[in-house]
């Protein structure tokens, strides 16, 4: 059985935590290992706990999601957070977490312009960019890769373009991952030139919007993800997503790129080793 990595999942979220043992068992039986990703300090503590309890199967990624940065458009999701109270970002607390040996990446953090409300765009963007720089600095300080959440406003590449501009003046010594890439072919080429890696999830199994990007990207810069419990792939749509479903994503990428499935699995496993040191 070949080892397959779900490079971005949320098994410690409430939506999956109630059946965590079952989720991990189904992944284990299919050869799937995973990186469990935090979105607040609260959830980052939980992913660290899950990784400690499941060494060699679950690895931690600790971060602060851009949709939790501003008071103006703070987003609460019952599938994600137990508490409905907004957290205040604290760089030092994340720096401490980032140094734990179970933590293999810093994130998710980034820019999310999808829910911006008219009249507040400039302020929210500046607040997100401030935290972006702080989390980027944490990753640089501990020497671990950066898991970036970049979500543009509908029909644009704005979050990606702003990121490319923002990082020009920042130290840039560790690997960068654009999680759940949904940008254009043009911006994908620019990000590839800037040294980014890209994850793709379940959406690629039921829409064809990203086929040209996937065809263009070298296999060496591709990772698989589920983003579970969200965006369940075909043929499992309608159910809560979980890491075992990353196998459907891997098969679809092999199909889109016209490459051998087993060879793709091996190459992406090498990518995981290079990027995360796992």
- Residue pLDDT, tens place only, 244-263: 999 999 999 999 999 999 99
Residue corresponding to tokens 């799937």 = 32
Average pLDDT of the segment spanning 81-86: 74
pLDDT band at 82 (very low <50, low <70, confident <90, very high): low
- pLDDT more than 70, % of the chain: 97
Return the pLDDT at 3.
Answer: 96
- 155-194 per-position pLDDT tens digit: 899 999 999 999 999 999 999 999 999 999 999 999 999 9
Return the pLDDT at 71.
Answer: 83
Closest by Cα among 204, 196, 195 to 224: 204
Domain with residue 152: its CATH number is 3.20.20.140
Mean pLDDT (the chain, rounded): 95
Return the pLDDT at 116.
Answer: 82
Strands 103-112 and 146-151: parallel
Tell me the backbone φ, ψ of residue 157, rounded to 5 degrees: -115, 20
Which residues, 6+ apart, have CB-to-CB distance to 242 below 8 Å?
9, 11, 16, 23, 26, 27, 226, 228, 229
What is the number of structural domains in the chain? 1
Task: Provide the domain limits for residue 129.
Answer: 4-276
CA distances for 46 relative to 64, 91, 166, 251, angstroms: 13, 18, 30, 30
Give pTM, 2 decimals.
0.96
């Amino acid at each position: 059985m070949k080892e397959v990595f779900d490079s971005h999942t949320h098994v410690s979220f409430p939506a999956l935590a109630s059946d965590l043992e079952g989720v991990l068992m189904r992944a284990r039986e299919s050869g799937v290992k995973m990186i469990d990703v935090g979105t607040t300090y609260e959830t980052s503590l939980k992913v660290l706990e899950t990784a400690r309890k499941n060494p060699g199967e679950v690895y931690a990624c600790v971060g602060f999601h851009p949709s939790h940065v501003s008071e103006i458009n703070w987003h609460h999701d019952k599938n994600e957070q137990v508490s409905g109270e907004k957290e205040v970002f604290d760089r030092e607390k994340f720096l401490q977490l980032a140094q734990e040996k179970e933590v293999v990446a810093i994130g998710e953090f980034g820019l999310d312009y999808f829910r911006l409300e008219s009249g507040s765009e400039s302020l929210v963007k500046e607040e997100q960019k401030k935290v972006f720089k702080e989390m980027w600095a944490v990753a640089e300080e501990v020497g671990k890769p950066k898991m970036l959440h970049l979500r543009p406003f509908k029909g644009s590449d704005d979050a990606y373009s702003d990121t490319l501009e923002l990082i020009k003046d920042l130290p840039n010594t560790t690997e960068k991952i654009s999680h759940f890439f949904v940008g254009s072919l043009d911006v994908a080429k620019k990000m590839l030139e800037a040294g980014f890696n890209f994850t793709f999830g379940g959406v690629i199994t039921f829409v064809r919007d990203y086929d040209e990007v996937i065809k263009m990207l070298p296999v060496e810069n591709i990772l698989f993800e589920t983003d579970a419990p969200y965006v369940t792939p075909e043929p499992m749509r309608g159910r809560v997503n979980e890491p075992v479903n990353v196998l459907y994503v891997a098969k679809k990428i092999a199909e889109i790129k016209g490459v051998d499935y087993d060879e793709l699995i091996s190459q992406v496993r090498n990518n995981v080793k290079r990027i995360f040191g796992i």
